[in-house]
Structure 1
Amino acid sequence: MQNVLVSGAGVAGTALAHHLHRHGFAVTVVELAPGPRSGGQAVDIRGVAVDVIARMGLTERVHAVRTRMRGMSLLDADGHEVHRSTEATYSGGRLDNEDVELLREDLVAMLTELVADDVEFVYGDAVTALREDEQGVHVTFQHGQPRTFDLVVGADGQHSRVRKLAFGPEEQFLKHLGSHLAIFSAGNFLGLEDWQVWQRDGDAGYGIYPVRGNSELRVCFGWQSEEPVERDVERSRKLVAERMSALRWETPRLLAALHDAPDFYADAMAQVHLEHWSAGRAVLLGDAAYCASAFSGQGTSLALVGGYLLADELARAAAAGADHRTAYAQYEERMRPFVALNQALATENPGGPAAEESVERAKNAITLDR
């Protein structure tokens, strides 16, 4: 039985862990956070990714916690409605299709529960060094004792530690899209009921939508800038407040909530592009390999589909007596056209959503079986 280390306990890492266990691999997942991460925005499961969820037996559970938006409003700088839609929302797309929108934290919790009894989870630790030889990959951790694994998977996000160790500094692979995004939760002081509101003035704006039975808000601040994002949380809060301060309407109350939010998160909108997704026994998955950015709306679907295909190819290679190199090559061959179409969604219409036709084509541009 091959043992696999997965770095990152997000959507990509936990979904992959499930599929690998099902195929007979022994899996350890290491996660820097002290437990499953909370907070974050609503994410979409679209097209072929809906089929992945079905094969995991999670369809009913996913639908039970999906968002229930009735529509959205676009507001001017003073909060006056200038447009409304009951057919689609910016965060979830059309309301009459089979795609599913839910909170990222709910999906991660669901996936973690699915594999909790089958996979070893190590929280509050991180990979600090990789050394490969004919015996496997010797991994050094920030806190735990060194261990050796047959394979290592970097599913640790846009700023992947595994990618840095196996491929080099992230500056080589990140393509910044000229915008930043900050996300946090707050009480529903706006009284929104299954309804989104979006406001923009100049190069800054925000989207707000209710969650948890309309008891909470998720607030998404966005602004255009080529500057690198602050990695220090408090300095980042200050920067976001400065960028948003010129906006009117409910901005003062939103900024007050920003300073109190325990789940505040901010980062640059960027994509990841690598010539290859594997190096030796190490391979990348999800945002670590092919981040499409929140602008694409497809990061979660790419993670789910990629995890399914990577596990499938590793299982096929093992059954055929081949090694990881064959599996990694097939994984890339199958995923790259799908990734390219979905990454293109983020840049098709700068400042706005991609065309519905483009989204439909991209989300279904792969098959799970071969």
Structure 2
Amino acid sequence: MRTVLISGGGIAGPALAYWLHRHGFGVTVVERAPGLRAGGQAVDVRGVALDVIGRMGLLDPARRLRTRMRGMSVLDADGKEIHRSTEATYSSGRLDSDDIELLREDLVRLVYERTRGDVEYVFGDTVTALDEDGRGMRVDFAASESRVFDLVIGADGLHSTVRRLVFGPEERFAHHLGSYLSVFTADNFLALDDWQVWLRDGDIGFGIMPVRANTELRVTFGFESGPLARDADGLRHVVTERLASLRWEGARLAEAARLAPDFYCDAMAQMRMDRWSQGRVALLGDAGYCPSPLSGQGTSLGLVGAHVLADCLAQASGDHTAGFARYEERMRSFVALNQALATENPGGPAAEASVDHAKNAVSLDG
């Protein structure tokens, strides 16, 4: 049995684990966090990615967990409503679409539960070194004994350790898009009832949606900025200061960001690489081709990439070089179209027609 180590226990990595197990591979997933990561924004599963989760038996469970927004309000800097819609929201698009919006943590849990009986999960550990030899790929870990695998897949996000170890520094491939995004949970102090609110004030703005039967808020706050140091405390300070400068609800939002246990902030950036594989190592999802949250397609790219990569390896009859090459051939144009969604309309969502084209622009059975 050929063995595969997947670095990254979010969505793309466990989805790949599912398909590789189906094709007869022995799979281990290593995740730096001590368990499944909670928090995070709502994510979209669109187009061909719906077929992927359907084939995994997760379409109905995902639909049951989808957000149930009735619409949204767009506010000016003083909190006055200037636009409302009961047909679409900025986060999910048209409310009558077959696409699914659900909390990231819910989708993570669904995929994990679907795979935990067939896949070895190692939490609280990370890859520290990779060395290819005649036996395969020797992998050193921060907390575990070294092991040898036939293949290693980096599905460990924008700041991928596997990518850094094999391909070089992140700065070679990351393209900063001029802004940052913060996501955190707060009590529903606005008493929102299945209704989103969006506000922009100069170069900062936010979207707020109620979740968990309207008991919580997920706040998505964005601000324009050049590259900042990757320091969690420093980024939290920047976010709280900028939130506090808002005239409408700035003080309460700043305090919520200061106290949030699931606070997240990172650059809006895309990963653009000439190749996603080298030797026995390949990259999947954000690690290789992050489109940024501005595209709304990161989750769908990861799900589709997982299915395509596993399919290509299975069809290659043990020749990983050929399998990786075919994976890139099938995914390249799909990735390019979806990355373009992030830059099509700076400061706003891409056109509905562009999204519809990009989300369906690949075959799962190519």
Q: TM-score, normalised by structure 1?
A: 0.98
Which residues in structure 2 correspond to 1:271-282 (within 5 Å)? 271-282=270-281
C-alpha distance in 2, partners of 1:315/1:293?
A: 29
C-alpha distance in 2, partners of 1:263/1:336?
A: 34
C-alpha distance in 2, partners of 1:351/1:283?
A: 33
Structure 2 counterpart of 1:91, which letter? S
Partner of 2:118: 118
User: Structure 1 residue 343 and structure 2 residue 342: aligned?
Assistant: no
C-alpha distance in 1, partners of 2:59/2:356?
A: 20
User: Structure 1 residue 332 and structure 2 residue 328: aligned?
Assistant: yes
Helix, strand or coil at the partner of 2:78: coil
Partner of 1:297: 296
Partner of 2:48: 48
C-alpha distance in 2, partners of 1:219/1:59?
A: 26
Q: Deviations over 1:188-212 (max 9, x none)?
A: 1100011100001110011100011
Shift of 1:241: 1.3
Which residues in structure 2 correspond to 1:190-201 (within 5 Å)? 190-201=190-201
C-alpha distance in 2, partners of 1:110/1:356?
A: 28
Q: Deviations over 1:129-151 (max 9, x none)?
A: 00001210000101100000000
Contact kept in structure 1, 2:292 and 2:298, CA below 8 Å: yes
C-alpha distance in 1, partners of 2:337/2:20?
A: 26
Helix, strand or coil at the partner of 1:74: strand
Partner of 1:65: 65
Q: Deviations over 1:148-199 (max 9, x none)?
A: 0000000000000000000000000000000000000011110001110000
Shift of 1:244: 2.3
Structure 1 counterpart of 2:341, which letter? L
Q: Deviations over 1:260-298 (max 9, x none)?
A: 111000000000000000010000000000000000000
Shift of 1:57: 0.5
Helix, strand or coil at the partner of 2:44: strand
Shift of 1:245: 2.4
Q: Deviations over 1:281-337 (max 9, x none)?
A: 00000000000000000000000000000001111112xxx5100100000000000
Q: CA RMSD in A?
A: 0.8
User: Structure 1 residue 163 and structure 2 residue 158: aligned?
Assistant: no
Structure 1 counterpart of 2:268, which letter? M
C-alpha distance in 2, partners of 1:67/1:127?
A: 35
Structure 2 counterpart of 1:300, which letter? T
Which residues in structure 2 correspond to 1:1-370 (within 5 Å)? 1-228=1-228, 230-318=229-317, 322-370=318-366
Structure 1 counterpart of 2:122, which letter? V
C-alpha distance in 2, partners of 1:23/1:203?
A: 48
Shift of 1:259: 1.2
Structure 2 counterpart of 1:25, which letter? F
C-alpha distance in 2, partners of 1:171/1:310?
A: 25
Shift of 1:242: 1.8
Shift of 1:97: 1.1
Shift of 1:87: 1.0
Contact kept in structure 1, 2:241 and 2:254, CA below 8 Å: no
Count of equivalent residues: 366
C-alpha distance in 2, partners of 1:345/1:331?
A: 22
Helix, strand or coil at the partner of 1:347: coil
Contact kept in structure 1, 2:243 and 2:251, CA below 8 Å: no
Contact kept in structure 1, 2:30 and 2:126, CA below 8 Å: yes
Helix, strand or coil at the partner of 2:246: coil
Structure 2 counterpart of 1:148, which letter? V
Query: Which 10-residue stretch deviates more, 54-63 or 241-250?
Result: 241-250
Helix, strand or coil at the partner of 2:74: strand
Query: Alignment identity in percent?
Result: 64
Structure 2 counterpart of 1:195, which letter? W
Structure 1 counterpart of 2:328, which letter? E
Runs (5+) with no aligned partner, structure 2 = none
Shift of 1:236: 1.7
